[in-house]
Amino acid sequence: MTIIIPAYKPDQKLISLIDALKAQCDARILVVNDGSGDAFEPIFDAVRAAGCHLLVHPVNRGKGAALKTAFRFLQEEGCDEILCTADADGQHLPKDILACLREAEAHPDALVLGGRGFRGDVPLRSRFGNAASRFTFRLLMGKKVYDTQTGLRAFSTGLLPLMLDIAADRYEYEMQMLCNAVRQKIPVREIEIETVYLEENRSSHFNPVRDALRVYGLLIRCALGRLYEVISFLFSSLTAVAIDVVVLFLLHQLILSFFMEDYALRYTISLLFARAVSSVVNYLMNRKVVFSNLEKPALTFSLYVLLVVFIYFCNCGVGLLIAKLLGGIITTESLLLLVSDLLGQCVCFPISFFVQKYLIFRKKPKKEEK
C-alpha cells in the first residue's frame, strides 16, 4: 500500500500526519513537494528523515500535476497495489486514510472516496461550496456523490492509466477524475470520514473564485462532451460580435460620418478598428476557455492575427456585397450596416472555428515526464 501526499508550502501538520501514519501502519508514504520554495526545505528534510519517498517539482504546478507525478512514478515502478491520496493540511485523519485503503482493498475495481459528513463547526463557505458542487455534479453527470471535493481517495494501480489520462493540473483535476470514472462506468464507493477544519481552513490554498471557476468549467465541459467547444465558441463569438457591432456602429454612424461621406470607405475603416478590439477579446476567451490551450502564446496569437486579417477581408467583401444586394430593399443605412455585418460574420463563422480548432489551438499529445 502507498499513501500519496501532494504538498505545497506545508507546515508542521504534515509531519504530524506522517508520524501518526507511521505509528499505525506500514504503508509506504510518497510526498510530492509541489514547488514550495527554499523556505519550506526544513519541513521536507523532516519528511525525508521520517523515511518517506520525496518527489520534487522545482516550481509550483498544481495539485493535479503533483498527483500525476506520483502516479507516473508508481506506474514506472510497475507495482500492483492499493494507493490512497491524502491532503497535507491535517484534515484527513490516519484512521480515515486507513479505512479508505481497506475499502479499496476489498473493492479493487472501484474508486473509493472519503466523504465528509459536514457536521459540527464547518466554515460557511466550505459547507455552501460542497453543497453547490454536489448538486451540480448530480445534475450534470447523473451520479450522486456526497463529497465531490474530497482529496481522500483510494484505488488500485489498475486505474493509473485513467488517472494519468487527465489533462487538468490544478484543483479541477479531482473533479475530472470523478467525471471520467462516471463516464467509464467505474464504480464510485463513498465512506463517511470525520470532517476536520483547522483554523477555519486557513491553510488551504484553494482560491474560492479562480479555482471554483476552473472546477465548474471543467464539470460543464465533461457534461457537454464534444458539444462544449461548439457552444463555448459560439458564446465567445457572440460576445465578440456584440463588441464588434457596437464599435462599428459608433465609428461608422457617429464619428466618421462627420467628415467622410463614402459608405464603403467608412465601412472598411470602421470594421478594421472594430475587428481589432473584438478580436483581442475573442482570442483571450478562445485560448483560455474554449480550447484551453495556454501553450506558446506568441505563436498562437501570431496565427490568430493572420486568421483575423483573412477573416477581415472575407467579412469586408461579403458585407459590402450584401450591402449592394440589399441596398434597394433596406433604405435605412444603420439597418443595412447591421444586417450586412451580421450576415458577413455568419458566413465566416465556420471557417474561423475549424481553423482555430485544428490549426491555431490544436493540442499536441503531451510527452510523459520522467
* pLDDT tens readout for residues 274-289: 888 988 898 988 887 7
pLDDT band at 160 (very low <50, low <70, confident <90, very high): very high
Nearest partner of 83 among 153, 34, 17, 32, judged by Cα: 153
Quickly state the pLDDT bin for 212 (edges 50, 70, 90): low
Residues in the chain: 370
> The cell 471557476 sits on which residue?
213
Average pLDDT over residues 186-198: 84
Q: Hey, which bits of 109-176 come out as E strands?
A: 111-116, 153-156
Q: What percent of the chain has pLDDT over 90?
A: 34
Query: Comparing 13 with 139, which gets the higher pLDDT?
Result: 13
- Confirm if 316 and 268 have CB atoms less than 8 A apart: yes
Q: Please tell me the predicted confidence (pLDDT) of residue 368.
A: 43
Segment 199-215 shows an average pLDDT of: 56
Mean pLDDT of 220-249: 78
Would you give the DSSP letter of residue 289? I
Q: What is the mean pLDDT of the chain?
A: 83
107 pLDDT above the threshold of 70: yes
- State the residue for C-alpha cell 458542487: 133
Rounded Cα distance, 306 and 267, in Å: 21
Candidates 203, 149, 193; CA nearest to 171 is 149
Bigger pLDDT: 69 vs 342: 69
- Which residues are registered as beta bridge partners of 113? 153, 190
By C-alpha distance, which of 352, 356, 357, 359 is closest to 244?
A: 352
* Residue range 75-80: mean pLDDT, rounded: 88
Residue scoring higher pLDDT (262 or 128) = 262
d(CA 203, CA 197): 10
Q: What is the pLDDT of residue 116?
A: 82
Query: Count of CB atoms within 10 A of residue 55's CB?
Result: 16
Ramachandran bin of 49, using left for φ above 0, alpha for ψ from -120 to 50, beta for the remaining angles: alpha
CA 267-268-269 angle, 5° bins: 95
**Residue 348 predicted with pLDDT over 90:** no
Contacts of 79 (CB under 8 A, 6+ apart): 2, 157
Tell whether the model's pLDDT for residue 370 goes beyond 60: no
Band of pLDDT at residue 369, cut at 50, 70 and 90 = very low
- Are 73 and 164 within 8 A, CB to CB? no
Residue 129 has pLDDT above 90, yes or no: no
For 330-335, the CB contacts below 8 A with 24+ separation are 333/253, 333/263, 334/249, 334/253
Q: Examine the pLDDT at 56 and tell me if it is beyond 90.
A: yes
| pLDDT tens per residue, range 173-190 | 888 898 889 888 999 999
Residues 10 and 88: beta-carbon distance below 8 Å: yes
Across the strands, what pairs with 115?
192
**Helix, strand or coil for residue 254?**
helix
More reliable by pLDDT, 264 or 177: 177
- SS3 letters for 203-253? CCCCCCCHHHHHHHHHHHHHHHCCHHHHHHHHHHHHHHHHHHHHHHHHHHH
Domain with CATH 3.90.550.10 in the chain: 2-224
Query: CA-to-CA distance for 108 and 83, rounded, in angstroms?
Result: 10
| 287 or 198: which leads in pLDDT | 287
Please give the residue that has the higher pLDDT: either 91 or 206. Answer: 91
pLDDT reading at 208 higher than 80 = no
**Does the pLDDT value for residue 80 go beyond 70?**
yes
User: Which one has a higher pLDDT value, 223 or 237?
Assistant: 237
Q: Is the sign of the CA dihedral 11, 12, 13, 14 positive or negative?
A: positive
CATH architecture of structural domain 2-224: Alpha-Beta Complex (3.90)
Whole-number pLDDT of residue 354: 85
**pLDDT, tens digit, for every residue of 130-140?**
777 788 888 77
Give residue 123's pLDDT: 62
Per-residue pLDDT at 31: 96
Stronger pLDDT, 249 or 218, i.e. the higher one: 249
Tell me the pLDDT band of 144, cut-offs 50, 70 and 90: confident
* Cα–Cα distance, 230 to 123 (Å, whole number): 38
What are the tens digits of pLDDT across the range 297-321?
888 889 999 998 888 888 788 878 8
What predicted TM-score, i.e. pTM, was given to this entire model? 0.65
